[in-house]
Structure 1
Amino acid sequence: MLDDLSGLSMFVRIVEEGSLSAAGRALGLPKATISRNLALLEKRLGAPLLIRSTRALSLTDAGRRFFDRVKPIVRDAQQATAEVKSHNAAPAGLLRIAASVAYGQAAIAPRLLAFMKRYPAVRIDLHLHDRRVNLVSDGYDLAIRMGAIGDSDLVSHKLADIHMVIVASPGWLEQHGAPRRPGDLARHVAVVTRPDIVRWQVGGETVRVPWRMSTGNMIVTRDAARAGLGIALVPEFLASRDLEGGSLVRLLPHLELPVIQATALYTRGANRSVALRALLDDLLASRPIEVDAAP
C-alpha cells in the first residue's frame, strides 16, 4: 500500500525538491523508482497530484490540498522517529553545568561523579559559583539554583527542599546575647550572602537585619558566622556539622523559617541532547537529592 508513511514522505520530498531527479538524489533512489511510486500513489488516490513538464513540476489542486494535509504528518513522524533513535543512543558529548557552590559541591558533584562512571563518553564542564547565569548567552546546558527562579522562559524541575537556619557563634552570643523573639534579630549584626537579602521571614514575621559583611557565597557566610562576625541565615545542611560540634548555635529553633528550593533549569529544546536527558533522569530519579556531606 503506497499511502503508508514512506509513500507520503516520498511525495512530500518530491514537492520540496521540485523534481523527481532531485528527490531521487536526496533519497538515494533512481529517478525511475521515484516516478513509478508516484504513479502508483496517484492511481491509488484516483487523482493526479502533479503536473509533469520537461522543465518543472507543479501541483494540481488535489495535489496542493493533499500536500498541505500530509506534510505535517510526515514531519511529526520523522521527528518522532528521530527522538526514538536519539533516546536509544548512548549519552555522549559535552555538558556545561552551572551550580551554586554549596549545594553543587555537597549534593550535585557526587551525583555527577557517579553519572560519569556510568557514561564514559560524556564530558562535563562544571562551574560552581553563586551568581545567576544566563543559560543562552553564557552557553550553559543546565543550571542548578537555590532560591527563587524568576526565569519564566526556562524549563524547571524541583530537585529538593532546603531548610534554612539562623546561626551564630557561642562567642557572639556571649557578647551580644541570644535573641528570644524575631524582633531581637534586628539588634544583631548579620553576615549575608547578598546585600539585598536582609529581610528575613521568621515565624511569620518579617525582620530587617543590619549587615556588616556580604560574602557572595554561602560557605563564606557560614564561616564568617563561625568566626564570630555576626548572625547568619544559611542552609541547614551547610551548618549541620558545626551545630553538632558546638562551633555554631541555632537561634530561635522553635520558629518556622522559609524553605527554599534547589531547582534544575534548562532552555526549551535543550532536552533533545541525549546526555542532558540522561542526566536529568538521574537527578530526578530519587528526589529529593540528599546532601552527602557539607563542604
Structure 2
Amino acid sequence: MSKLPDLEGLAIFAKVVELRSFAAAADELALSKATVSKAVTRLEMRLGARLFNRTSRRLALTDAGQSLVEPATRVLAQGEEAENTALAQSAAPRGLVRLAAPMSFGLSDVAPVLPQFLALYPEVTVDLHLSDATIDLVGMGFDAALRIAALPDSSLVARRLRPVKRYVVGAPSYLARQGRPTHPGHLAEHSCLGYAYMPTPDTWRFVNAAGEEASIRPAGPLRVNNADALMPALIAGQGLAVMPDFIAGAALADGRLEAVMPDWSPPPIALHLVMPPGGPRPARVEALTAFLTATLSGKTR
C-alpha cells in the first residue's frame, strides 16, 4: 500500500453515496461514468472489500461501504473547504507587492496616489523602490515597475500608460544673456546640463515634424543622476537641459523656465508599466497594476 491515501477515490465514493448514482456523480463532478466507476473499483481493491452491491436497477451499500460513508464524506467536505479557502485567499488581494519606479516620478506621481490604493486594499502592503537606474525585475524579485523610456524589445510584459513630453528648457535670465537656440546645432554654443540616465547621455538627439534628425554632444558644468537635481541650476540661469513634463511642468507654467526650439523635440518616450513574464498573477499584483493603470494613464501636464 502506498503511503498516501486514495483521497480522490474516497471523495468520488462519497459523491456516489450522496447522489445514489454513478451517472449522477459523474455529471456533477464533470467526469465520465467510466472514470467514476474505475475510482470506486480502485478503492475497493485497495481496501480489499466491496463497497456497493450493484444491479442494473439498484445501488446498495455493503457493510464495508456503510462504515466508510462517514469518513469519506468528511474527506470530501474538508477537501472542498480547503479549496474554497484557497480560492477566497487568491481572489481577495492581500500580501506584499514590490514596485519599482523612477525617483522623481515616484515622488511626484506614484507616492501621492498610494494612500488611496492602500485604503481600497487594506490587506495589501506595497514596497516602493525609487531609483532612476533600470531595475532587474526578475533578478531582484519585483512584481512590477514603472519605466519612462522608449522600451526596447524584451521578455517583460509592458503596458503603455501615457506619453511623456520632454522639452529643452532654460531660465529667462539665461536666455536673455546667452540667446535662444532654435536648432539643435545651436546647442553646441550653450551650457548644457546633463542627466546621466538619458538613453544616450553623451549625445542629445532631436527630430522635427518633417522627420529630420539632428544630434549634438552636450557640454556643461553639471551632470546628475536624478533630473530633479537640475532644477536649481536651471532656475538660477546656469544653462539648458532636456527635462520631462512631470518635473519641469510647474516651472514652465509659472514662467521660471521657458521651452526653446519648438520645432524640434527629443525622440518620443512614454510611461510604461512592466512586469515579469508569466501568469496568472496574484490578486494583489493585479489590483495594484489595475489601479496604477487607471490612475496614471490619463494624467498629463
Superposed pair shares fold, TM > 0.5? yes
Pair 1:143–1:52, CA change in 2 (3 A): closer
The answer as to whether partners of 1:188 and 1:209 remain within 8 angstroms in 2 is: no
Pair 1:151–1:125, CA change in 2 (3 A): farther
Pair 1:271–1:211, CA change in 2 (3 A): farther
Q: Residues 250-279 of structure 1: CA distance to partner in whole angstroms, max 9, x if unpaired?
A: 111243443311111111236521111011
The answer as to whether partners of 1:98 and 1:142 remain within 8 angstroms in 2 is: yes
Q: Does 1:211 align with 2:219?
A: yes
Pair 1:116–1:91, CA change in 2 (3 A): same
Q: Residues 110-143 of structure 1: CA distance to partner in whole angstroms, max 9, x if unpaired?
A: 2322111111111111111101010122221111
Corresponding position of 1:201: 206
Please report how far the alpha carbon of residue 42 of structure 1 lies from its aligned counterpart in structure 2 after TM superposition: 9.0
Q: Please tell me whether Structure 1 or Structure 2 has the larger radius of gyration of its CA atoms.
A: 2
Residue type of the partner of 2:299?
E
* Structural RMSD (CA): 3.8
The answer as to whether partners of 1:186 and 1:207 remain within 8 angstroms in 2 is: no
Aligned with residue 189 of structure 1, among 172, 191, 207: 191
Superposed, 1:1-295 pairs within 5 Å as 22-24=4-6, 26-27=7-8, 29=10, 44=34, 85=87, 89-150=91-152, 152-194=154-196, 196-197=200-201, 198-203=203-208, 204-212=212-220, 213-269=222-278, 272-285=281-294, 288-290=297-299
Residue type of the partner of 1:219?
D
> What is the CA–CA distance in structure 2 between the aligned matches of 1:157 and 1:42, rounded to whole Å?
42
What is the TM-score of this pair, normalised by structure 1?
0.70
Number of matched residues?
A: 248
Residue type of the partner of 1:102?
S
SS in 2 for 1:224: helix
The answer as to whether partners of 1:182 and 1:205 remain within 8 angstroms in 2 is: no
SS in 2 for 1:113: helix
Q: Residues 214-271 of structure 1: CA distance to partner in whole angstroms, max 9, x if unpaired?
A: 2111211333322323210011232122123222121112434433111111112365
The answer as to whether partners of 1:162 and 1:236 remain within 8 angstroms in 2 is: yes
Pair 1:287–1:236, CA change in 2 (3 A): closer
Q: Which runs of 5+ in 1 are unaligned?
A: 1-17, 56-80
Please report how far the alpha carbon of residue 175 of structure 1 lies from its aligned counterpart in structure 2 after TM superposition: 2.7
> What is the CA–CA distance in structure 1 between the aligned matches of 2:250 and 2:12, rounded to whole Å?
74
Q: Residues 48-92 of structure 1: CA distance to partner in whole angstroms, max 9, x if unpaired?
A: 79999989xxxxxxxxxxxxxxxxxxxxxxxxx99x936972211
